[in-house]
Amino acid sequence: MLMAALIFFYGLIVVKSAWICDDAYISLRTVDNLVNGFGLRWNIEERVQSFSNPLWTLLLSGIYLFSREAFYTTILSSIFISLTAVSVYVLTISKTVYSAIAGVVLACCSKAFIDYSTSGLENPLTYLFVAIFLWVFFSSMKDDTRLFWLCFTASMAALNRMDSVLLFLPAIAYCFIAAPNKRGSIKYVVIASAPFLFWEVFSIIYYGFPFPNTAYAKLNVGVPMNDFIVQGFYYFSDSLRGDPVTLITIAACFILLFFIKDIKSIAAFSGVILYLVYVLMIGGDFMSGRFFAAPFFVSVIVLANVLQPFMKMKSSLVVPIVIVSISLLNPNNPLRSGSTYQNRVIDVRGIADERGWYYQGTGLLLSAEERSNPVNPSAYWTSTGLEYNKSFKEFPVRATNNAGFMGYYSGPNVFVIDHLGLCDPFLARLKPDLDSGWRSGLPVRTGWRIGHFYRHIPEGYIETQVEKKNHIQDPSYAELYDKLSLIVRGDIFTIKRFVEIWRFNTGWYDSIS
């Protein structure tokens, strides 16, 4: 009964905080196109993987097929999966009532964990895979069986979001090294990795590239690694200021393992270290705390496993009580913030409280109380200098910096050009303007905003999309567009197309962009 009450309490906090961000609608445009028979595409003329979460996108597609509605479909699916992930922790991983209470309290006090328990992004599925993976890892399964299920879970997590596999690799390596039959273990690893491997083969054949288009738009932008690392440190410091529970929990787990030296727990936690180094190197994200939510959940589970013998008495609840007390001092903490929550501030390093930015437009509580249409995209289009017009579908081509809401509500017959290149395979391969700053006019100190690398639209590119004929004036860009179009628009199974796929993926045309 108490365990059910804990899960219910977490559910209440999540429902109270539930929201959806603009980026979620990037995937939802693809979901809508797929369900309506246009394929896994952003613009129906092009095969481009504009989403970085294939499994989440496919899962939503299956539900959307019946609901034909985006907002409630996405937000209720997120809540259900997040509840399932926490239930796995409470009912299977936590061995005592006190460790279950401590874990749920930590989760409810972590702004990052609660914010991204919804949001419309793939985090809830990542939470679920983290919980299942560590439940299997700390279980008493036979070595081969454990290794198979660990690799299968990690494969599904990578299919959900490719970089999340870093959280799981050290634990898999630990089990592989401990396995008595290495040859048999390799077979299990390969078989269990089939879901992700299958997607990669499909991605190369269908899209022409092994990685999401977002990776090409965000990572190959000409920013020195040192600048990314500096930005990454700001991302860490931003989280520590606005959401101290998350990073302090991760740090506490690290310090505790340093003294206890439990090898198996260290292997499980090493994935967190690996992932945080990766986050630092890519400059973090513009969404405050997003990349810390899954590492935080890993840390909570590892702490529960290590401290299990000590959490068998009421005195062990002192720490959770202290954490709640401190969290209540923060007005932005999920325990305090409700339907009036708003924080529309982007700092000078381009990092924002995304829930605070969007909640008044897409908050679940507000949609239930104040409006029949829970999403008001016009508020965000206006904020980026784009005039919302109910007849905008009459325009065959539109350009935007915020592709999610506009892309979804434009419908399949409008070709939406994304200045950031996230959804545009051609612009993603052009060098961004690093001196232009973010197009909102905010005083971003670096001149660029992390995750928002603005591309100028080449002369003739819009005409090219309107008339379906290459009018790009720059000869090198025109050539690049023709080569790329063979991959993303041409017949799939042709020798010329596969030759161009090879050339693009081996850097033949890098000098053009």
CA distance 274 to 289: 17
CA distance 40 to 61: 10
The whole-angstrom distance between residue 339's C-alpha and the CA centroid of its chain comes to 24
**Residue 391's pLDDT is what?**
42
CA distance 399 to 254: 46
CA distance 74 to 80: 10
Q: Which amino acid is at 181?
A: N
Greatest pairwise CA separation for the chain in angstroms:
74
Q: Which amino acid is at 359?
A: Y
The position carrying tokens 């051609």 is 426
**Which tokens in the block code for residue 330?**
């923060």
Calculate the CA dihedral of residues 128, 146, 197, 428 and round it to 10 degrees.
Answer: 40
Tens place of pLDDT per residue across the chain (513 aa)? 788 899 999 999 999 999 999 999 999 999 999 999 999 999 999 999 999 999 999 999 999 999 999 999 999 999 999 999 999 999 999 888 888 888 999 999 999 999 999 999 999 999 999 999 999 999 888 878 899 999 999 999 999 999 999 999 999 999 998 888 877 788 888 999 999 999 999 999 999 999 999 999 998 788 899 999 999 999 999 999 999 999 999 999 999 998 888 899 999 999 999 999 999 999 999 999 999 999 999 999 999 888 877 766 665 567 677 777 777 778 888 888 888 898 888 888 899 999 999 998 899 988 655 544 555 544 444 333 333 344 444 568 888 888 898 899 888 999 999 999 999 999 999 999 887 654 445 555 567 889 889 999 999 999 999 888 999 999 999 999 999 999 999 999 999 999 999 999 998 888 776
CA angle 14, 15, 16 (to 5 degrees): 90
**Residue 311's pLDDT is what?**
65
Q: Which amino acid is at 114?
A: I
CA distance 124 to 242: 22
**Residue 95's pLDDT is what?**
81
**Residue 155's pLDDT is what?**
97
CA distance 31 to 408: 9
The position carrying tokens 């030296």 is 261
Helix (H) or strand (E) holding 418: strand 415-418
CA distance 110 to 80: 19
**Residue 42's pLDDT is what?**
95
**Residue 12's pLDDT is what?**
95
